[in-house]
Amino acid sequence: QGFYNFVYQPIIEQDEEISGIIAVATEVTEQVLSRRKIEESEYRYHNLIHTSASLILILKGEDLIISVVNDSMLQSMAKGKDVIGKPMLTVLPEIIEQGLGDVLHQVYKTGESSYGYEAPVHIMRNGKMELSYYTYVYAAQRDLNGKIDGVSVIATEVTPQAEYNQKIKESEAQFRQMANLMPEKISNANAAGDVIYFNQTWGDYTGLSFEELKNGGWQKTIHPDEIKEVTKSWLHSVETGNDFEVELRIANKLGEYKWHLTRAAAVKDNNGKIKMWIGATTDIHDQKTKEEAKDEFIGIASHELKTPLTIAKAYIDLLRMSLQKTSNEDFMYAQKAAESIERLNGLIGELLDVSKIQNGKLGLNITEFDFNEMISTAIEGIQYASPNHTIHRSGKIKQLAKGDKERLQQVVVNLLSNAVKYSPNAKVVDIHVAEKNGEVIVAVKDKGIGISKENVGKIFERYYREEERATHFQGLGIGLYISYEIIQRHNGKLWAESKLLKGSTFYFSVPINYTAKKL
Ligand code: ADP
């Protein structure tokens, strides 16, 4: 198949008669095919531009005349097809003062492309100025000789995504601002445990810049006595995702160490993977030093009270002995005085124990002893002082035990007297002793007022007493604290199970044969 151009010409004779036709044919196959190719490629190119989801615009000449524009672009500009042939900057004059006119001219002049990422552009749409965001490229268009003859614009509108990112940025800025206003020292760490943010309060307190704090400066502010423990505990949290809580001393900008409480919790994604950590550090220096001063005062005061009390006790005992023979009534008075002195003696003893624990001086006097007999002595004492309750006992230990007999008896007495004290309307308190896997387990059970779930963890703390109830029952709130320490030193455990208004069971377990803890 070929393509031809034909020219037909009549042959005219002298008498003007047509005697024939000359047909001249030129073969043009080549030209036709190549024109078709051009048309086809232009059609494709045209199609590509017009069906593209990208916004496409081709501007010709120095005046940036709109020569090609696709529907997506027209839609985004809120304009019709009539813009074709008009200069870009008269069609969208609002972009001039936003600096985009200059950018287009620059591209035209230099041939260097210009890129924008989520760039805000205000566009007048139907009489209203609207903000949209675009990711775009402006590139120079060249003719066959390589001379710049226009600028192409290819853009994507990214408004929702940009607004979303903007919101995140804003909310982050708000968080930072809030964190900076807090008197607390706030920090963020990444999943690997590296601290990546400190609020202003951190900087104000330590006198270090954000960069200095971040690059290991904060570790240098921690007291040398605590740094090892703090680091260990932090690494453990980072590994397990468990909450982090430590008391530590942190140096201020003058180099003075103040006590702080630092807590951090992991922020996890839906799959439970740690995304980051949020930490808050609170100044507890006053509280802590007050507590220390209180402990110290209690130590001194109870020590001072102990001596005159011991003397008074000795005299009352003498008095009691001599009155026993003569006057019944006076003997009873002396007896009552002796009981009160005994009680006072017990309270002062508890206070002295607290200060011994505080100073690490609560030593154990380890001997071999009969555990069952120790229990009997403890029960006898309580039974004598509380005739309204019956103490039921069960279980026995078959072998001798090794430990501090006096101190363990003190624990049993404490648990039994609490059981009696906190079950004023009950008749019976149970104590059960058992032996299991080389340990003695003691359970003291009452049907008393019980302890609420949220408080059951606090009762072993020093000076803790349940607030509303404290007024009804006498006590200093330190018996369980001392018991806990004694059991700990025996490498044992002390714990409680309780139901409010139903009663409590206190347990402790200690190795039958005490062995010193290896350090
Ligand atoms: P306290 O001198 O106040 O008895 P403890 O340290 O022995 O001090 O006990 C601490 C607190 O625990 C008590 O104030 C009380 O609120 C609670 N508690 C202890 N034992 C019992 C019990 N058997 N039943 C209910 N509450 C108890």
Residue 390, φ and ψ in degrees, nearest 5: -110, 130
CA distance 367 to 377: 17
CA distance 69 to 67: 7
Mean pLDDT over 228-255 rounds to 94
Q: Say yes or no: CB of residue 503 within 6 Å of ligand 1.
A: no
Q: What is the pLDDT of residues 277-321, one digit of tens each?
A: 999 999 999 999 998 888 888 889 999 999 999 999 999 999 998
Q: Which two tokens mark 443?
A: 């359970």
H/E element, 471? none
CA distance 102 to 386: 97
CA distance 399 to 20: 145
Residue 222: CB partners within 8 Å, gap ≥ 6?
Answer: 230, 248, 249, 250, 251
CA distance 215 to 198: 11
**CA 344 to ligand 1 center in whole angstroms:** 18
pLDDT of residue 48: 83
Q: Say yes or no: CB of residue 429 within 6 Å of ligand 1.
A: no
- What percent of the chain clears pLDDT 70, i.e. is strictly above it? 99
Q: What is the pLDDT of residues 380-403, one digit of tens each?
A: 999 988 999 999 999 999 999 999
pLDDT of residue 294: 87
**CA 452 to ligand 1 center in whole angstroms:** 12
CA distance 306 to 352: 9
Name the residue at shortest CA distance from atom 7 of ligand 1: 479
For the chain, give the number of residues: 519
Q: Are strands 148-157 and 185-190 parallel, antiparallel or unpaired?
A: unpaired
Q: Say yes or no: CB of residue 417 within 6 Å of ligand 1.
A: no
Q: Tell me the pTM.
A: 0.61
Q: Say yes or no: CB of residue 416 within 6 Å of ligand 1.
A: no
For every residue of 180-213, DSSP letters joined together read HH-SSEEEEEETTS-EEEE-HHHHHHH---HHHI
Name the residue at shortest CA distance from atom 13 of ligand 1: 465
CA distance 398 to 378: 19
Q: Say yes or no: CB of residue 511 within 6 Å of ligand 1.
A: no
Considering 28-37, 100-109, 153-162, the range whose residues carry the highest mean pLDDT is 100-109
Residue from 459, 478, 497, 505 to probe ligand 1 pocket by mutation (most atoms less than 8 Å from CB):
459
* CA separation, residue 268 to residues 238, 242, 245 (Å): 12, 11, 18
Between residues 244 and 46, which one has the greater pLDDT?
244
CA distance 249 to 229: 12
Q: Say yes or no: CB of residue 418 within 6 Å of ligand 1.
A: yes
Q: Say yes or no: CB of residue 466 within 6 Å of ligand 1.
A: yes
Residue from 348, 422, 429, 508 to probe ligand 1 pocket by mutation (most atoms less than 8 Å from CB):
422
Q: Say yes or no: CB of residue 448 within 6 Å of ligand 1.
A: yes
407 and 440 Cβ atoms separated by less than 8 Å: no
Residue from 480, 504, 505 to probe ligand 1 pocket by mutation (most atoms less than 8 Å from CB):
480
Residue written as token pair 């408004």: 159
pLDDT of residue 17: 85
Among the listed residues 133, 88, 137, the one whose alpha carbon sits nearest the alpha carbon of residue 116: 137
pLDDT of residue 46: 82
Name the residue at shortest CA distance from atom 14 of ligand 1: 465
* CA separation, residue 236 to residues 9, 59, 379 (Å): 103, 63, 44
Among the listed residues 119, 95, 117, 109, the one whose alpha carbon sits nearest the alpha carbon of residue 140: 109
Q: Say yes or no: CB of residue 484 within 6 Å of ligand 1.
A: no
Among the listed residues 355, 506, 354, 367, the one whose alpha carbon sits nearest the alpha carbon of residue 445: 506
Q: What's at 353, amino acid-wise?
A: D
DSSP letter, residue 432: E
> Residue 465 CA: which ligand 1 atom is closest?
14
H/E element, 38? helix 29-51
H/E element, 370? none
Mean pLDDT over 471-500 rounds to 92
